[in-house]
């Protein structure tokens, strides 16, 4: 049995706690490795090592830090296939999806190459009589990233690249379900020229997380996961005086107007709803067709598309649409929610509960399910399913559809499909959601913008990546300077304040 490690001070270090978590292959249900779970003492030691390494890294000029990002990006691209295969083996994603996971993280690293231009302060000459003012952006110090299982490369890179290029040291605590990709990325960052101790990967569970939240050295915490845990981490971090940006769950709606191209809308819903087995915080899980005629025509198009989805292991080739969900517990929960939808009166038009894959009977595969006539009081509408299940809520009017999105507790992403620019503009202006797609089903912004939800999908004032990330990982210092004039008398300078 393979035993994984932590990555501390530039090298792999065995865990000393004696506690381990099993790392599964979701396609087979087999344990493929064990990952150590750090004790508070181990975590605190890693934080202390990061604190020792951080000042020298902060003193490295921004252009040289950006050069490390350049080399890091080149190494990620060189090792793309290796990283994707490693990611698929632990997560279950198809290889194209895994490569996309790495690619979206790589794009943030690429933006960080230009960080020196974004780290500049401001300057005012003669802000007062003989007074100059200027500001500077300085790193927080030691920060932490706590990342989820569903994007083993992308989200760690979203955290580490901006934090590091700003001059911070980082403690990365990846999901114990998918630790290998983060460990490999740490190796590549080291190869790119990152000094020992500036990036530490420490594996662990809640005990490790609580140690991060309570350690006085940690100045900022970034988290992605479920809403209850996001609220917990945000509250505990803030109460301990730390900056925190915590991103939680989602319930993303896509409105389909009567004038929409229904074939394009159906294709978009299938990709956005079932890609990555629905284990995405930006997945579309609720389709909202406007008008009965639109709804009937949309369901007619969706059924054959959903039934034709190919489910299988990543090793089956690139024509597989999605793979298994992450754990047996996740599979059981998803199928339980599908059962509840049937019991509560929704129309299950495509049933994925009895899906079985020959040769992979012990894998965590869930067939695609499509519901029609879902209502707001049903569990499948209220809860984030995080699986390959698409619910259809019929709306009579645009206003009714818009109200569904506005009154939902979550506000991560939403989309509208329409041929009417005025309707699209009205939707974008009125909807209280952080990321909006117009004829675009998964509106994840490009890496030089910024990613973040509203309402119970996000806690904290600043978003992930883009300019917001550099603001989050730095603090502003403003200097007010006045120099006194000198008059030379008898070989000596005498100073007086300027009027």
Catalytic residue numbers read 281
Distance CA 237, CA 329 (A): 29
Q: What's the DSSP call for residue 311?
A: B
CB proximity list for 336: less than 8 A, separation 6 or greater: none
Contact between 465 and 473 under an 8 Å Cβ cutoff? The reply is no
Buried b (16+ CB within 10 A) or exposed e, 172-186: bbbbbbbbbbbbbbb
What are the C-alpha distances in Å from 494 to residues 130, 131, 207, 236, 498? 17, 19, 62, 55, 13
What count of Cα atoms within 13 Å lies in the side-chain half-sphere of residue 105?
28
Contact between 153 and 80 under an 8 Å Cβ cutoff? The reply is no
CB proximity list for 309: less than 8 A, separation 6 or greater: 270, 274, 321, 322, 368, 388
Q: What's the DSSP call for residue 195?
A: P
Distance CA 437, CA 451 (A): 13
Distance CA 246, CA 237 (A): 10
- Three-state DSSP at 310 gives coil
């Amino acid at each position: 049995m393979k035993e994984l490690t932590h990555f501390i001070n530039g090298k792999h270090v065995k865990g000393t706690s004696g506690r381990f978590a099993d790392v599964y292959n979701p396609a087979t249900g087999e344990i493929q490795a064990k990952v150590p779970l750090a004790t508070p003492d181990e975590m605190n030691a890693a934080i202390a090592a990061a604190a020792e390494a951080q000042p020298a890294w902060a003193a490295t000029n921004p252009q040289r830090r950006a050069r490390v990002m350049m080399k890091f990006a080149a190494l990620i691209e060189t090792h793309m296939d290796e990283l994707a295969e490693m990611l698929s083996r632990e997560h279950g994603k198809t290889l194209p999806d895994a490569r996309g996971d790495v690619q979206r993280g790589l794009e943030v690293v690429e933006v960080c190459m230009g960080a020196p231009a974004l780290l500049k302060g401001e300057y005012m000459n003669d802000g007062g009589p003989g007074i100059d003012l200027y500001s500077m952006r300085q790193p927080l110090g030691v920060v932490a990233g706590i990342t989820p299982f569903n994007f083993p490369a992308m989200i760690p890179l979203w955290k580490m690249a901006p934090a590091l290029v700003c001059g911070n040291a980082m403690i990365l605590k990846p999901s114990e379900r998918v630790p290998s990709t983060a460990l490999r990325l740490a190796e590549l960052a080291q190869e790119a020229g990152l000094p020992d101790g500036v990036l530490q990967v420490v594996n662990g569970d809640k005990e490790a997380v609580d140690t991060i939240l309570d350690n006085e050295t940690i100045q900022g915490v970034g988290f992605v996961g479920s809403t209850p845990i996001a609220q917990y981490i945000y509250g505990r971090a803030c109460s301990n005086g730390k900056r925190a940006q915590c991103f939680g769950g989602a319930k993303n709606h896509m409105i389909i107007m009567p004038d929409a191209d229904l074939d394009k809308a159906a294709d978009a819903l299938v990709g956005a709803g079932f890609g990555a087995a629905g284990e995405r915080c930006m997945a579309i899980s609720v389709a909202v067709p406007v008008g009965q005629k639109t709804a009937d025509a949309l369901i007619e198009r969706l059924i054959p598309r959903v039934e034709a989805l190919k489910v299988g292991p990543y090793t089956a080739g690139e024509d597989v649409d999605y793979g298994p969900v992450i754990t047996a517990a996740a599979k059981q929960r998803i199928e339980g929610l599908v059962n509840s939808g049937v019991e509560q009166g929704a129309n299950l038009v495509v049933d994925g509960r009895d899906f079985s894959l020959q040769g992979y009977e012990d894998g965590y595969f869930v067939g695609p399910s499509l519901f029609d006539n879902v209502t707001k009081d049903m569990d499948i509408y209220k809860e984030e399913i995080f699986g390959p299940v698409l619910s259809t809520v019929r709306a009579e009017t645009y206003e009714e559809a818009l109200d569904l999105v506005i009154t939902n507790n979550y506000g991560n992403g939403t989309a509208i499909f329409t041929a009417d620019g005025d309707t699209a503009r009205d939707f974008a202006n009125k909807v209280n959601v952080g990321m909006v797609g117009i004829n675009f089903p998964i509106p994840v912004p490009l890496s030089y913008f910024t990613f973040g939800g509203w309402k119970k999908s996000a806690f904290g004032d600043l978003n992930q990546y883009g300019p917001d990330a550099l603001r989050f990982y730095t603090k502003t210092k403003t200097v007010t300077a006045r120099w006194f004039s000198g008059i030379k008398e008898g070989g000596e300078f005498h100073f007086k304040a300027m009027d």
